[in-house]
Amino acid sequence: MHSSILFLHLYNPLSFESSSNSPFSILSSSSSFNSPPPVKVYSYDLPRKFNYGVVESYLKARDPSISIPFDDVSNLKYPGNQHSAEWWLFSDLIKEDRYGSTIVRVLDPEDADLFYVAFFSSLSLVANPIRPVSGVNVNSNVGGSVYIDEEMQQSLMEWLEEQIYWKRNNGWDHVFICQDPNALYKVIDRIKNGILLVSDFGRLTRDQASLVKDVILPYSHRINPFKGETGVEGRNSLLFFMGNRYRKEGGKVRDLLFQVLESEEDVIIKHGAQSRESRRMATQGMHSSKFCLHPAGDTPSACRLFDAIVSLCIPVIVSDQIELPFEDAIDY
């Protein structure tokens, strides 16, 4: 995901003005408006444990033979994850060559429009090892303690709340990425004045998040893109869905959909849990179907929608509370 699109969406004065009857008139090449000024972003130089250290802790928990910290972070690979936007945004912002970008990274916080807090909050949720592993410490990543996400969240806020630019306005111009629905859950009330980059608002209250100040991010797709010919030839199934049949909240509709559709011709609807084999079957099903069902689960959204898009399978959304990424700029 490119940071230019995201931060312009966050900080574009034109988005608060209506210049014509068309919501997309400002995107027209014939528009009389000049391009908006670049958005100046200051990325906090956080202690390593909040970004690269999270990746190292995750890898160490799964392979104790790995030596951390890495001497060269260019050799550090973010694990395959549907919430990897935190990695791509951070990587884009720290690139030295940003020629032509509408986003300017500033080194002097006095010049900044926005302050980016580059904590890998979604990966932090799953960095906990299955069992205690020597070499992982929440404070230094060197030692004998098990990684604990809640302690990392608390440590982040203790550091952040000491910063003069946070104290200036209680963080209203600070940007946090918390794409996993449970990311930063322990401290969400302490950062709710800031700008949250989320997948949906399913587990957030109205006083914590809204489209007035926050941005919906796309998931990273988990299955391989379809590389065949476009069109419906060769797509033998009308409708495909594979996932957990029984979910809470809005996801209760899944059981009803199973009852209605599982005996229909040209419809493939299967119960399945996450696994490598399930992903292979989902790839095959999406690549060979005309439509892909996208019902709500425990939360309104899921990466299934973006898996369908890269599969060239038309998504059929069944979710009352879903918000799509950049809805005010993209004509879905």
For residue 182, give the DSSP letter.
T
Rg of the Cα trace of the chain?
A: 22
Structural domain boundaries of the chain? 39-128+148-216, 237-318
Residue 261 β-bridge partners: none
Q: Which of 242, 252, 241 has the alpha carbon at shortest distance from 300?
A: 252
Q: What is the pLDDT of residues 197-238, one digit of tens each?
A: 999 998 999 999 999 999 999 999 988 999 988 888 889 999
SS3 292: strand
- C-beta separation of 119 from 46 below 8 A: yes
pTM of the entire structure? 0.82
Q: What is the pLDDT of residues 62-115, one digit of tens each?
A: 888 888 888 888 888 898 788 999 999 999 999 887 777 888 999 999 999 999
Provide the H-helix boundaries in the chain: 3-10, 52-62, 85-93, 121-125, 149-160, 164-169, 188-191, 253-261, 276-287, 304-310
The span from the CA of 201 to the CA of 301, in Å, is 9
